[in-house]
């Protein structure tokens, strides 16, 4: 017999509350005792649809963890039929959830940039709450702002918007430059072009950079090899230059991965 201490759990979660916090962006608090007890900032959960025609779980990053109440908060964008189904659910309804999945962010005590773009912003909130250091939080939005007050409670916040309706007009790097900011470590989550730019910026400034990656997933636990990303070196598990985002990631040292 093989005995392992479980670190990941399959739970029937109950929706505590759900609200639309911006256009098509929903915030959902789920009662999940085990997942809440074990989750770390930067990890994600697999949320299963109740509708039988949708077979694959949706990977959604954890935005906040409330250990005392045994709850996790998911903030997600309605991007398809699965997330549309979730967005129509309300308090008291149930969802099957597996987690916490993936590795999460490392917590280092040095002056940090927390940089989020779009729907990559939510997982940085729990990170901001956990990090005990000087935090400059740089958030890039398309237009509509969300989670802003929560972030302001955790550190200094700088904003970039594509249309210039708030903060710096442009992207997160434009906001860093315009405000003359610097830090010794980057934690980032957001679209690939943003992560690519931050990887180059970190290399140029010679600072540590951790990025959270995203990819289409199937199993969510590392078995199916759907969600790989190209790695700089041969990965110990896959034995090729591919890392599993759901298992070795989603958080990587920027120089570990090529994208």
Partner 1 sequence: MNMKTKLCGITLKNPVMTASGTFGSGEEFAEFVDLNRLGAVVTKGVANVPWEGNPTPRVAEVYGGMLNAIGLQNPGIDLFIERDIPFLKQFDTRIIVNVCGHTTEEYVAVVERLAGQPVDLLEINISCPNVKEGGIAFGQNPKMVEAITKEVKRHAKQPVIMKLSPNVTDITEMARAAEAGGADAVSMINTITGMKINIHNRRFALANRTGGLSGPAVHPVAVRMVYETAQAVKIPIIGMGGILTAEDAIEMILAGATAVAVGTANFNSLHATEEIIDGIRDYMEQYQVADISELVGSVR
Contact residues toward partner 1 (CB under 8 A) are 1-2, 4, 6-8, 10, 48, 52-57, 82, 98, 215-229, 237-242, 247
At its nearest, how many Å lie between partner 1 and the CB of residue 250? 13
Q: What is the DSSP letter of 219?
A: S
Q: b vs e for 7-31, b when ≥16 Cβ sit within 10 Å of the residue's Cβ?
A: ebbebebebbebeeebeebbbbbbb
**Rounded least distance, CB 7 to partner 1, Å:** 8
| Beta carbon of residue 152, minimum distance to partner 1 (angstroms, whole number) | 34
- Complex with partner 1: residue 186 or 246, whichever CB lies closer: 246
CB of 143 to partner 1, least distance (A): 19
Ramachandran region, residue 167 (left: φ > 0; alpha: ψ -120 to 50; beta: rest): left
**How far, in Å, CA of 55 to CA of 52, rounded?**
6
In whole angstroms, how close is the CB of 9 to partner 1 at the nearest point?
A: 9
Of 194 and 213, the one with the shorter C-beta distance to partner 1 is 213
| Complex with partner 1: residue 56 or 107, whichever CB lies closer | 56
Which has the closest alpha carbon to 157: 132, 171, 174, 175?
175
Please, what is the end-to-end C-alpha distance for the chain in angstroms?
41
Q: Which two tokens stand for residue 182?
A: 């610097």
Cβ at position 227, least distance to partner 1 in Å: 7
User: Please, which residue, 89 or 224, has the CB nearer to partner 1?
Assistant: 224
Rounded Cα distance, 66 and 72, in Å: 6
- Across the strands, what pairs with 229? 243
CB 150 within 8 A of CB 213: no
DSSP-derived secondary structure for 36-80? HHH--TT-EEEE--SSTT--SPEEEEEEEEETTTTEEEEEEE--S
- Of the two residues 82 and 167, which places its CB atom closer to partner 1 in the complex? 82
Q: Of the two residues 155 and 222, which places its CB atom closer to partner 1 in the complex?
A: 222
């Amino acid at each position: 017999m093989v005995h392992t201490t479980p670190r990941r759990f399959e739970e029937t979660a109950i929706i505590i509350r759900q609200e639309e916090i911006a256009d098509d962006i929903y915030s959902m608090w789920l009662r999940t005792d085990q997942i809440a007890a074990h989750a770390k900032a930067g990890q994600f959960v697999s949320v299963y649809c109740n509708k039988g025609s949708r077979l694959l779980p949706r990977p959604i990053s954890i935005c906040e963890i409330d250990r005392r109440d045994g709850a996790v908060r998911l903030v997600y964008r309605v991007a398809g039929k699965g997330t549309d189904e979730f967005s129509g659910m309300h308090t008291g309804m149930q969802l099957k959830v597996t987690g916490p999945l993936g590795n999460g962010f490392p917590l280092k005590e040095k002056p940090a940039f927390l940089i989020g773009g779009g729907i990559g912003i939510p997982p940085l909130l729990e990170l901001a709450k956990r990090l005990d250091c000087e935090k400059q939080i740089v958030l890039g939005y398309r237009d509509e702002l969300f989670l802003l007050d929560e972030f302001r409670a955790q550190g200094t916040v700088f904003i970039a918007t594509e249309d210039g309706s708030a903060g710096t007009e442009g992207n997160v790097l434009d906001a860093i430059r315009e405000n003359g900011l610097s830090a010794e470590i980057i934690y980032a989550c957001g679209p690939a072009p943003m992560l690519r730019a931050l990887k180059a910026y970190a290399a140029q400034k010679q600072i540590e950079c951790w990025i959270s990656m995203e990819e289409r997933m199937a199993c969510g636990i590392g078995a199916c090899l759907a969600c790989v990303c190209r790695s700089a070196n041969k990965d110990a598990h896959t034995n090729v230059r591919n890392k599993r985002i759901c298992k070795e990631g989603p958080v990587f040292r920027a120089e570990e991965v090529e994208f």
